[in-house]
């Protein structure tokens, strides 16, 4: 059975002190809770090791927001998958639309990143999603399919089974404009079909597909009630422990 997951993506927010404090607050809130989903926080590189020290990863998983597309060496300023894993992190967000848009990430580089993440026992949270124009001109199915095929479909079924997908329509990220639950369900079901065509129904049924884009406590329950929406990747609302827990408790 596929997992239900709520994951926070802190993006480029919080100083180290603020981030450790936020992680402690979420960890504390989960201590005596029995959420109906796995809970993960993905934090800036600088925060990984200190956050790992203050959380119980049996209750709160830790991830990075990116990793390099090379193993190691002369790549000034880059952080490798091995370095991420050495902090205690277990997950890594890859292919976020902000990385594709602002840092020129392509399916080719993402393929390398996915391979390196898996080689270092990190679970990729792989992001896909269309821009507004592609939603409006009706090409969004192809856009999302190509993003999956190009970066992931060279994986064996076993390795594909380790991936968490996050569908994040770019027009809904940070805009307050959430996809409706029906819009999310329609594209999530399509994505599951694409996976089934390649890897078979069992792999498709076991793949967690998260929704991301202006997800908040007030709309999470409706989105998560849809059969093909297995949870959320949360930006802004993950920066406040109470609102993040409000989304976790939407399950
Ligand atoms: P918001 O929840 O702030 O819209 O961000 C979504 C996102 O990009 C998560 O990765």
* pLDDT for the residue 178: 86
Instruction: Dig out the tokens for 199 from the structure.
Output: 């890897």
Tell me which residue has its CA closest to atom 5 in ligand 1.
235
Domain 5-248 in CATH 3.20.20.70:
yes
Instruction: Dig out the tokens for 238 from the structure.
Output: 């993950």
* pLDDT for the residue 177: 85
Around ligand 1, the residues with Cβ closer than 6 Å are: 9, 96, 168, 173-174, 212-215, 233-237
Tell me which residue has its CA closest to atom 7 in ligand 1.
235
Task: Give 13 Cα–ligand 1 centroid separation in angstroms.
Answer: 12
pLDDT digits (tens, 9 = 90+) for 173-216: 988 888 999 999 999 999 999 999 999 999 999 999 999 999 99
Residue 97 has pLDDT above 90, yes or no: yes
* Best of 8, 130, 235, 239 for a ligand 1 pocket test (most atoms within 8 Å of beta carbon): 235
Mean pLDDT within 86-101: 98
Residue 56 has pLDDT above 90, yes or no: yes
* pLDDT for the residue 188: 98
For the chain, the domains span 5-248
Q: So which residues are the catalytic ones?
A: 96, 168
| Atom nearest to 11 CA in ligand 1 | 10
Rounded alpha-carbon distances, angstroms, from residue 189 to 36, 180, 181, 229: 22, 14, 12, 9
Task: Give 234 Cα–ligand 1 centroid separation in angstroms.
Answer: 5
Mean pLDDT within 58-74: 98
User: Closest Cα partner for 71 from 59, 83, 60, 61?
Assistant: 83
* pLDDT for the residue 77: 98
* pLDDT for the residue 197: 98
User: Closest Cα partner for 151 from 168, 141, 140, 163?
Assistant: 163
Mean pLDDT within 66-83: 98
Instruction: Dig out the tokens for 129 from the structure.
Output: 């999603």
In this prediction, residue 32 has a pLDDT band, given cuts at 50, 70 and 90, of confident
* pLDDT for the residue 223: 98
Percent of the chain at pLDDT > 90 equals: 96
Mean pLDDT within 18-39: 96
* pLDDT for the residue 159: 98
* pLDDT for the residue 1: 82
Neighbours of 15 (CB within 10 A): 11
Contacts of 218 (CB under 8 A, 6+ apart): none
Q: Which residue has the tokens 């809970």?
A: 39
pLDDT digits (tens, 9 = 90+) for 128-177: 999 999 999 999 999 999 999 999 999 999 999 999 999 999 999 988 88
């Amino acid at each position: 059975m596929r997992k239900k997951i709520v994951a926070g993506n802190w993006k480029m927010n919080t100083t180290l002190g603020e981030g450790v404090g936020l992680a402690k607050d979420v960890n504390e809130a989960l201590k005596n809770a029995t959420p109906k989903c796995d809970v993960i926080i993905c934090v800036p590189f600088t925060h990984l090791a200190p956050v790992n020290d203050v959380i119980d990863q049996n209750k709160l998983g830790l991830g990075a927001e990116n990793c390099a597309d090379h193993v190691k060496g002369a790549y000034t300023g880059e952080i490798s998958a091995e370095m991420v894993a050495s902090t205690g992190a277990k997950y890594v967000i890859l292919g976020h639309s902000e990385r594709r848009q602002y840092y020129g990430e392509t399916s080719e580089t993402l393929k390398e990143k996915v391979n390196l993440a898996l080689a270092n026992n990190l679970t990729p949270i792989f992001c896909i999603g269309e821009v507004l124009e592609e939603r409006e001109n009706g090409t969004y199915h192809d856009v999302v399919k190509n993003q999956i095929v190009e970066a992931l479909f060279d994986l064996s079924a076993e390795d594909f089974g380790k991936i968490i997908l996050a569908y994040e329509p770019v027009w809904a990220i940070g805009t307050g404009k959430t996809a409706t639950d029906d819009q999310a369900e329609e594209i999530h079901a399509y994505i599951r079909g694409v996976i089934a065509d390649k890897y078979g129904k069992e792999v498709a049924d076991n793949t967690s597909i998260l929704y991301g884009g202006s997800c908040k406590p007030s709309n999470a329950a409706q989105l998560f009630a849809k059969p093909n929406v297995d949870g959320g990747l949360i930006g802004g609302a993950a920066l406040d422990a109470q609102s993040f827990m409000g989304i976790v408790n939407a399950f």
